[in-house]
Amino acid sequence: MAAIIFTVLIVLDQWTKGLAERLIGAGGSVTVIPGFFELHCSYNKGAAWSIFADKAWGLTFLTILSSVVLLALLWYLSKIENQKARIVLILLAAGSAGNLIDRLRIGAVADFLSFTFGSFVFPTFNLADSMVTVGAGLLIIFAFIDHNFLTTQFKKGERNSKPDPVDPEE
């Protein structure tokens, strides 16, 4: 089931980016909610907030890094049985894969969701970015609620659905 969800999320990400590219075009904008939300098609050659975008080696570095991270996430996903951990890994892996596909396809990541909060214009992003953000947020929440979450779920990639039993006499 994880593979199906992973695939659906990637397809959804790529489909929405393709729609933005075809219907809005690079640099184009469509206002959805005036003063708050618009669709603005742009391309980011760097990482978050265009970090490394002006570096010649940036795209290569980010592509290699994304590939390594994606492989690690998929490896952990194949080992984890805990549902919360699987949700986190599916979101992180699908988001990473969606943006990696863009880097390989067009040499940049297609972004199109743009929000304005008063005078603050939030950096334009896409669904893959949202998946990574939600996955990371859930990871933090789960770790905060269950202080053993990280150690019991991601310990050496072992299949762990429950924490190790604790000897009550210790």
List alpha helices for the chain, DSSP H. 2-23, 58-79, 83-106, 127-145, 149-153
2-23 and 127-145 helices cross at what angle (nearest 10)? Answer: 140
Give the whole-angstrom CA distance, residue 17 versus residue 110.
6
167 is catalytic: no
Under a CB-based contact definition with an 8 Å cutoff, are residues 132 and 69 in contact?
A: no
Nearest alpha-carbon partner for 124 in 135, 110, 136, 138: 110
Which residue of the set 13, 129, 146, 167 is catalytic?
A: 129
Q: Quick check: is 111 catalytic?
A: yes
On whether the CB atoms of residues 16 and 127 are closer than 8 A, the answer is: yes
Q: Which residues contact 127 (CB under 8 A, 6 or more apart)?
A: 9, 12, 13, 16, 17, 95, 98, 113
DSSP 19: H
CA 24 to centroid of chain Cα atoms: 23
Q: Which is catalytic among the residues 111, 146, 164, 167?
A: 111
Q: Catalytic residues, which ones? A: 111, 129
